[in-house]
């Protein structure tokens, strides 16, 4: 039976999502975190009974744009939203270092400038240093780095992002909604380079990704 990626155990036995939630609660408090569920939702809910859940009933025919849309709609309009891909392993010191962007209500996309892969979501910036393109089709020769799956939208930018997520295609990644909001103007997303924070952050898609994440965690713990 296929296994939900967020429940993939790291080398110490802790599931990827459990480690992320532990870091989030340590930095932001004990309030429940919204988790978007779909595939094998019962296993996710059983694993994290103290959290809150947002159901994407079309998870099998839509992409991350529609999952994020549901997540944003579940949050009060006055609140900004920090979100993570459920398969991201990140340095435990990262959240304290990006907290001030949230406190200043500066929308951002966490990026890794040490790697630019054709298969990943890449970005470029405008003359002020804000993101102006964000997608997998950005030319790797001009891209400055790649998105790592940790993002924040401020209260001021959230409604516009919701509108764009409604308009993008069902099979689009959520970054398409961010890019369209940027193109309309008045939505500034800062690229926050986390590659200098210890192990940074890495998305676990394949077995080799998991091996790299475990090696980085082991190195960090020494």
Separation CA 204–CA 201 (nearest Å):
10
Separation CA 155–CA 107 (nearest Å):
9
Separation CA 115–CA 200 (nearest Å):
11
What residue segments make up the domains of the chain, in order of their start? 5-220
The CA angle 36-39-42, to the nearest 5 degrees, is 80
Q: Which pLDDT belongs to residue 130?
A: 98
Separation CA 176–CA 135 (nearest Å):
7
CATH code for the domain defined by 5-220: 3.90.550.10
What average pLDDT does range 201-214 have in this prediction?
92
Tens-digit pLDDT profile for residues 60-91:
999 999 999 999 999 998 999 999 999 999 99
pTM of the model: 0.95
């Amino acid at each position: 039976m296929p296994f939900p990626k967020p429940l993939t155990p790291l080398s110490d036995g802790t599931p990827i999502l459990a480690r992320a939630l532990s870091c989030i609660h340590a930095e932001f408090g004990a309030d429940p975190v919204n988790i978007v569920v779909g595939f094998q939702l019962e296993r996710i809910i059983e694993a994290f009974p103290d959290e809150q859940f947002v159901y994407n009933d079309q998870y099998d025919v839509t992409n991350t744009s529609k999952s994020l849309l549901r997540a944003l709609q579940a949050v009060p309009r006055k609140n900004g939203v920090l979100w993570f891909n459920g398969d991201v392993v990140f340095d435990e010191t990262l959240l304290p270092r990006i907290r001030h962007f949230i406190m200043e209500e500066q929308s951002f996309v966490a990026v890794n400038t040490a790697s630019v892969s054709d298969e990943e979501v890449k970005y470029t910036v405008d003359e002020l240093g804000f993101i102006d393109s964000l997608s997998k089709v950005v030319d790797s020769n001009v891209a400055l780095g790649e998105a790592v799956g940790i993002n924040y939208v401020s209260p001021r930018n959230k409604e516009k992002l919701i509108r764009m997520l409604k308009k993008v295609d069902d099979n689009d990644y959520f970054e398409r909604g961010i890019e369209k909001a940027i193109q309309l103007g008045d939505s500034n997303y800062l690229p926050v380079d986390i590659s200098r924070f210890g192990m940074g952050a890495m998305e676990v898609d394949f077995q080799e990704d998991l091996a790299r994440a475990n090696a980085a965690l082991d190195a960090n713990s020494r």
